[in-house]
A and B are shown apart, each in its own frame.
Chain A
Amino acid sequence: MIEIRIHGRGGQGNVAAAYILASAAFQDGRHSQAFPNFGAERRGAPVTAFVRIAEQPFSRRCQVLNPAFLIVQDEALLHIPGVTDGLLAGGGILVNSTSTTELLREQTGLNIVALSANALARKILGRPVPNTALLSAFLSLTGMISIDALVKGLEQRFKGEVLDRNTQLVNEAAQLVQVGLWKEINHAANA
């Protein structure tokens, strides 16, 4: 079972990201679950969502305490205490950031990959909504689910031109990170 925690701010589509990821896993024939760390949401307030993906059915509903991966939709959140709590040893952190991977690794000592998702989204979607780019990069890094399955997941939520643009975004973002870099972490966590 792979457990993922997604950290974002209210208004960034944190819950949507979790739902899309879980849907993509389902399209790929897995069992999955997604839910937010419910709260009285306010635009800009830190929010968290959880995703579980497994080969076999499962029924637990507790919060994800030991994620194998974190997706951080806003790099300022990296500095909030508790964001990296419970991350499995060697776990990967994908951060929406304008800094480079090398710089962030140096600064934090964490197993980070940076993606300038806002800029990419602004370019293709016209709005700095980082989700689809981040999800695509995440799948590219881990190899856990095919990009096609992600696109199928998007088809559940978008259509027409919005779907086309998001598909384009997905394809571009997948190439911007080192494909398969986290394959090992993925396998180890799934064992």
Chain B
Amino acid sequence: MPQMLEGSQALARAVALCRPQVVAAYPITPQTHIVENISKLVADGKLHCELISVESEFSAASVVLGAAAAGSRAYTASSSQGILLMSEVLYSIAGLRIPLVLTCANRAVGAPLSIWNDQQDSMAVRDAGWIQIYCADNQEAVDATIQAYRIAERTELPVMICVDGFVLTHTLEQIEMPSQEQVDGFLPDFQFSRALNPANPISIGTLVSPDYFSEVRHSHHQALLNAQVEIQSADADWAAVSGRSGGGLLSVEGDPAAKVGILSLGSVIGTLRDALGEYPDAGPAKLIKLRTFRPFPEEALREACAGLTDLVVLERALSPGSGGIIGTEVRAAFAGRSDMPRVHNFAVGLGGRDIPLDIYPRLMAAVKSPSGASFAIFDANLDRLPEADR
């Protein structure tokens, strides 16, 4: 039965359905409603778990690391500054191969201080070794959260579910909440082969010398690459239970004969999807929805781009001094190959700037008359800046 729910509210319920035993909470806009909703579920006895209101995000991540290491399914959420503050712990969690799920309610990273949506925060920790899945709407966020626990516990890799802050977390829309039976059938009890246990004591987090380090890193990197299989099977198996698929690693829609593709991730996909219908003369175009960013699905990407002459890579972050992040990885996926489309790499909607429907015809026009720059912040109004800063 579908119902109207605020994104955060739906996410909190999805987390509760997964039966976490430990939840760490530290408030940061725009993730706050998620932890508030969980708090209320606990206060009303609807969720039985240890809810720990910690003193910082660094501690939030540390608490869930300890909880999972001690054998409990755990959860936390954060955004922006909080993700950055806990980044050292995120590297630790991933390097220790601890199964965890974390919601990143994507928000710009200061300075300048901003509470609004972009994806600089999750992009900033792309090298920490987590699986990263981006959600285009709140239904996907609910479904992905449930799938995430299975993926994490089967791969022994932590999973970050990225949900655009405010745009998704604070939007009321139609959501189908799965039942407890559906989730219980899909998610077994928490299983962690290396959980700490006095009956079988092991040491986690030892000092690793140059003699061993490279092999550990290789193993982690390979595990992430291999996780593509698990990510796809979780999506397929959940689709069999719920009737809904998130699109696996990535999915393609729009005109199959189109020679121009637009690749993006997160909530902007929804706007682009409607825009393709509203501006039929601007096209034809294919819309490539990237769902998994880590591991980076190179092969699936190349397949999706087969036959394209041009590919717009539209992202919500950048690497200052270099350019686009996803754009750079897309180009690298085609390096030295003859099937590489012309890549038009743009960042848009930084710091929460609204992305209107007509972004689509404007992007298509830019494809027809490219500026020659390898990257640009598409919607920056350069007239506002002094000449020297443009």
Query: Are chains A and B touching directly in their complex (CB below 8 angstroms)?
Result: yes
Q: Which A residues have a C-beta under 8 Å from some C-beta of B?
A: 18-19, 22-23, 26, 31-36, 38-40, 58-63, 65, 156
Give the residues in chain B near A58, CB-CB below 8 Å: 274
Q: Is the CB of A61 within 8 A of B4?
A: no
Q: Is the CB of A59 within 8 A of B274?
A: yes
Closest to A1 in B: B274
Give the residues in chain A near B110, CB-CB below 8 Å: none
Q: Is the CB of B270 within 8 A of A19?
A: no
B273 adjacent to chain A (CB < 8 Å) = yes
Known: A23-B172, A35-B170. A59 touches B4 (CB 8 A): no
Q: How large is the interface on B (under 10, 10 to 19, 20 to 34, 35 or more residues)?
A: 20 to 34
Q: Is the CB of A23 within 8 A of B116?
A: no
The contact of A35 among B4, B171, B270, B274, by CB within 8 Å, is B171
Q: Is the CB of A23 within 8 A of B4?
A: yes
Q: How far is the CA of A60 from the CA of B174 in the complex (A)?
A: 14
Q: How far is the CA of A38 from the CA of B168 in the complex (A)?
A: 11
Known: A38-B30, A40-B115, A156-B4. A62 touches B170 (CB 8 A): no
Give the residues in chain A near B298, CB-CB below 8 Å: none
Interface string of B238-270 (1 = CB under 8 A from A): 000000000000000000000000000001111
Stretch at the interface among B64-72, B199-207, B222-230, B351-359: B351-359
Extra inter-chain contacts (18) besides given A35-B167, A39-B115, CB under 8 Å: A18-B172, A32-B173, A32-B174, A33-B171, A33-B172, A34-B172, A34-B173, A36-B170, A38-B352, A40-B115, A59-B137, A59-B269, A59-B273, A60-B275, A60-B357, A61-B168, A61-B271, A65-B356
B6 adjacent to chain A (CB < 8 Å) = yes
Give 23 pairs: A residue, B residue, CB < 8 Å, sorted on A.
Answer: A22-B172, A22-B173, A23-B4, A23-B172, A33-B173, A35-B167, A35-B170, A35-B171, A36-B170, A38-B116, A38-B166, A38-B352, A40-B115, A59-B271, A59-B273, A60-B270, A60-B273, A61-B268, A61-B270, A62-B355, A62-B357, A63-B354, A65-B356
Q: How far apart are B388's CB and chain A's nearest CB, in angstroms? A: 31
Closest to B266 in A: A61
A-B contact count (CB 8 A): 68
Give the residues in chain B near A23, CB-CB below 8 Å: 4, 172
Closest to B268 in A: A61
Q: Which B residues between 147 and 193 are near A, CB-CB below 8 angstroms?
A: 166-168, 170-174
Q: Is the CB of A60 within 8 A of B116?
A: no
Give the residues in chain A near B270, CB-CB below 8 Å: 59-61
Give the residues in chain B near A34, CB-CB below 8 Å: 171-173
Q: How far apart are A126's CB and chain B's nearest CB, in angstroms? A: 26
Interface string of B1-36 (1 = CB under 8 A from A): 001101000000000000000000000011000000
Q: How far is the CA of A76 from the CA of B167 in the complex (A)?
A: 28
Give the residues in chain B near A22, CB-CB below 8 Å: 4, 172-173
Give the residues in chain A near B269, CB-CB below 8 Å: 59
Q: Is the CB of A26 within 8 A of B174?
A: yes
Q: Is the CB of B174 within 8 A of A31?
A: yes
Closest to A25 in B: B4
Q: How far is the CA of A58 from the CA of B271 in the complex (A)?
A: 9
Q: How far is the CA of A26 from the CA of B3 in the complex (A)?
A: 8
Q: How far apart are A6's CB and chain B's nearest CB, in angstroms? A: 13
Give the residues in chain A near B116, CB-CB below 8 Å: 38
Closest to B355 in A: A62
Q: Is the CB of B357 within 8 A of A61?
A: no
Interface string of B297-338 (1 = CB under 8 A from A): 000000000000000000000000000000000000000000
Give the residues in chain B near A156, CB-CB below 8 Å: 4
Q: How far apart are B169's CB and chain A's nearest CB, in angstroms? A: 9
Q: How far is the CA of A36 from the CA of B352 in the complex (A)?
A: 13
Q: How far is the CA of A19 from the CA of B171 in the complex (A)?
A: 9
Q: Is the CB of A61 within 8 A of B172?
A: no
Q: How far is the CA of A156 from the CA of B4 in the complex (A)?
A: 9
Q: How far is the CA of A39 from the CA of B115 in the complex (A)?
A: 8
Q: How far is the CA of A56 from the CA of B173 in the complex (A)?
A: 14
Q: How far is the CA of A156 from the CA of B167 in the complex (A)?
A: 22
Q: How far apart are A72's CB and chain B's nearest CB, in angstroms? A: 21
Q: How far is the CA of A61 from the CA of B163 in the complex (A)?
A: 13
Closest to A52 in B: B173
Query: Which 7 pairs across A and B sit closest by C-beta, in order of nearness?
Result: A59-B270, A60-B274, A35-B171, A38-B166, A34-B172, A60-B271, A63-B354
